[in-house]
Amino acid sequence: MMRTRILRTVAVCSVMLLATLLVPPHAEAALTITVPATAAIGSTLPTFCSTTSTTITVTSTKKNYDLRIRSNTINNPNGKAKNGSGTEMLNSFQYATAAGGPFTDITALYVNVFSNQPIGSNINHTVYYRQCVNWGDGAGNFTIGVDYQVVEL
């Protein structure tokens, strides 16, 4: 007799992004950054990826700048979202500057998302996020902290 195999449906990836804003203290008056506190990626099934985006607004009145991104080094040092019990997803959280990618795995080291951006007020930068789900991921809500940094050139 053949055993019945039950496949479980895994609905994951309500990814809440916790953005930390780091702006050099010497430039507080000339440099500002606004990042929405959260961005949610809806539920998805294993072997599929879901995306969302957020708009980051930067004002730089004195110098060109780079906008950088990394995963939170304390809670998400491996660039992976975690559930409430601290279990990481198998796939890394990803970001891109275009809706269709290419997407890059986020790491705990700052990398430029937008480089050598011109001086201006309220300049909007759209960053796209993607999370792919694996059959080995447990069901539940997963969260990742994402840090942004603006660096004057």
pTM for the whole structure: 0.78
Is the confidence at residue 131, as pLDDT, over 70? yes
Is the confidence at residue 139, as pLDDT, over 90? no
Q: What is the pLDDT of residue 97?
A: 97
Query: Does residue 134 lie in a domain region?
Result: yes
Query: Does residue 71 lie in a domain region?
Result: yes
Q: What is the mean pLDDT of the chain?
A: 81
Other beta carbons within 10 angstroms of residue 49's beta carbon come to 15
Domain carrying residue 42: 16-152
Is the confidence at residue 85, as pLDDT, over 80? yes
Query: Does residue 4 lie in a domain region?
Result: no
Strand partners, 70: 147
Query: Does residue 102 lie in a domain region?
Result: yes
**What value does the mean pLDDT take over residues 66-86?**
93
**What is the tens place of the pLDDT at every residue in 14-28?**
344 444 444 444 444
CATH number of the domain bearing residue 66:
2.60.40
For the chain, how many structural domains are there in total?
A: 1
Per-residue CA distances from 131 to 15, 16, 104, 127 (Å):
8, 12, 11, 14
